[in-house]
Structure 1
């Protein structure tokens, strides 16, 4: 247990350094944007003198290191800047959009894990038989299908041809849980399929490797029920897929940006699109930074879960 806490503290100690690197990367990249903040803030009719005065008053003429230090100070105080007129705090916009993206990502992750376990375990238990061949075909097809294209197909089939689900929009779960589920079902499924397909192949490979081990033969030979053996094997087989789960969650977060646009969901994706099309550097900077930090936190949490489920690594 002492080793686990030492490794966990080591993972957590790296986080501030990585977050600092993320802020530097995002800040530097967006500083080379061709968008003029003074032009966006003052409007089309502003004179050159007014834009120059705005740049001087807001420190836009300061050297890049000075602006970065000032940017870090604003971050530490919880200030992500303001949007272009009509001016709103970026943090307020993110606080409204981020919960929806988290809901979509979480629901997509649940669907992906369920599908991956069903396909992967079925393929391993019925190895080299027709259920295994079927799950392989489904997994390959799922990996090959882009989530945005699948989203369009789902809208056409289940929202237009057969209006079971809405074509888009968002319903707050506090207002109607069933309405929320209907509004999130198609985008979450479209987001989950590629992740589920890739995880299913890992689950099957790990399950097959575990089923060939001596302890499984011994348990089966002693008359242990098949479902008990499979349940025990599954726990050991999930260690390998868990190592890549953090990366897959990152895919879900990034994929949610595109899916939200297709299904007209007011999440982080819509904020990024609004910032890019409107030339709002502060809005793009705040949303990208938030998603990047969320991705980092998820990966650290997955690393800690991996330490918990894999006793062997805690003895290293």
Structure 2
């Protein structure tokens, strides 16, 4: 346990310069973009040049970039992401309102992808080169080639408009109606998760096949252990290391894909918040959403690293 604690302390310490780099990148991109916070603040009001100049001076927009970056990081450490120019409310409040829905969509999609990948990948590996394996290969290749937005449109066309099984969009809070929440989130989560499930299925199949070909599996089965026990207790533990790595990277895809999916299904999450901010030239909200998403991605990958340490003792020894 002491070794694991030391590894975790090192990983967390490495997050500090990583996060500063992410914040610096977002800060520079937004500062060199065409968006002007002063013009956005006075949107539709026809401000005079003197008003624009006064706004820039009062908000430090004319200070040197290093000074503005230090002030920006200091505000972030205090939980201040600025104020949106469209809604005129703190960006942190807007993010904390939209973030729960995006997390619900992302983790529901992640759960669906993991379950499908494990079931299909293990089934294909056990029935290697037979009919179930061939069918799952074709299905997974089709899923990899199908983008999420295309699947979302197909689902709306056939499942919502055609069959009427699900609503075409909107959101119901689970506290108000869990059944309504499930109906509104099923199609977005499926559209988001199916391409990830297809990729993970192929990786799980390959990892399990490689593990099944090893000598210890043949020895265990030859000694009389049931194949189900060998696969469940030994093969999966060793085979899931590579899929875990890919899963950590795919979380970024899920977070990014949620932007498009939320827009298609009219879900008031982080994606819709950012799209509205881009349309209305609201840089404070855009950088708040991007930084929050990047922090979430980094934290998820840290959790994946912890799972690696728990699943693979060799990593702890090497570290």
TM-score bucket of the superposed structures, by smaller chain: over 0.9
Worse overlay, 233-242 or 157-166: 233-242
Residue matched to 1:218: 219
What stretches of structure 1 move > 6 A for 4+ residues in a row?
A: none
Once residues 283 and 75 of structure 1 are traced to their aligned partners in structure 2, the CA distance between those partners, rounded to angstroms, is: 13
Residue matched to 2:84: 83
Once residues 212 and 50 of structure 1 are traced to their aligned partners in structure 2, the CA distance between those partners, rounded to angstroms, is: 73
Give the CA deviation at 1:85: 3.9
SS of the aligned residue for 2:89 comes to coil
2:166 is equivalent to residue 165 of structure 1? yes
TM (norm. structure 2) is 0.97
Give the CA deviation at 1:51: 0.6
Residue matched to 1:94: 95
User: Which of 280, 284, 287 matches 2:286?
Assistant: 284
Over residues 264-291 of structure 1, what are the superposed CA-to-partner deviations in whole Å (9 max), with x where a residue is unaligned?
1000000110110000000101001100
2:178 is equivalent to residue 177 of structure 1? yes
Residue matched to 2:277: 275
Give the CA deviation at 1:43: 3.0
Residue matched to 2:41: 41
SS of the aligned residue for 2:313 comes to coil
Give the CA deviation at 1:119: 1.1
Residue matched to 1:22: 22
Once residues 229 and 85 of structure 1 are traced to their aligned partners in structure 2, the CA distance between those partners, rounded to angstroms, is: 59
Q: Is the 8 A contact 2:160 2:167 kept in 1?
A: yes
Give the CA deviation at 1:42: 2.0
5+ long unaligned stretches in structure 2:
none
Residue matched to 1:295: 297
Once residues 303 and 229 of structure 1 are traced to their aligned partners in structure 2, the CA distance between those partners, rounded to angstroms, is: 25
2:285 is equivalent to residue 250 of structure 1? no
Once residues 18 and 289 of structure 1 are traced to their aligned partners in structure 2, the CA distance between those partners, rounded to angstroms, is: 12
Name the CA shift for 1:81/1:137 in 2 (closer, same or farther; >3 Å): same
TM (norm. structure 1) is 0.98
Residue matched to 1:315: 317
Once residues 93 and 166 of structure 2 are traced to their aligned partners in structure 1, the CA distance between those partners, rounded to angstroms, is: 30
Once residues 159 and 190 of structure 1 are traced to their aligned partners in structure 2, the CA distance between those partners, rounded to angstroms, is: 13
Name the CA shift for 1:265/1:85 in 2 (closer, same or farther; >3 Å): closer
Residue matched to 1:111: 112
Name the CA shift for 1:24/1:223 in 2 (closer, same or farther; >3 Å): same
2:243 is equivalent to residue 241 of structure 1? yes
Superposed CA RMSD in Å reads: 1.0
Give the CA deviation at 1:237: 0.9
Q: Is the 8 A contact 2:86 2:282 kept in 1?
A: no
Worse overlay, 69-78 or 3-12: 3-12
Give the CA deviation at 1:223: 2.2
Name the CA shift for 1:29/1:235 in 2 (closer, same or farther; >3 Å): same
SS of the aligned residue for 1:312 comes to helix
Give the CA deviation at 1:98: 0.3
Once residues 231 and 308 of structure 1 are traced to their aligned partners in structure 2, the CA distance between those partners, rounded to angstroms, is: 17
Once residues 109 and 187 of structure 1 are traced to their aligned partners in structure 2, the CA distance between those partners, rounded to angstroms, is: 12
2:196 is equivalent to residue 200 of structure 1? no
Residue matched to 2:265: 263
Worse overlay, 240-249 or 266-275: 240-249
Residue matched to 1:228: 229
| Paired residues, number | 316
Once residues 70 and 82 of structure 2 are traced to their aligned partners in structure 1, the CA distance between those partners, rounded to angstroms, is: 14
Once residues 33 and 14 of structure 1 are traced to their aligned partners in structure 2, the CA distance between those partners, rounded to angstroms, is: 29
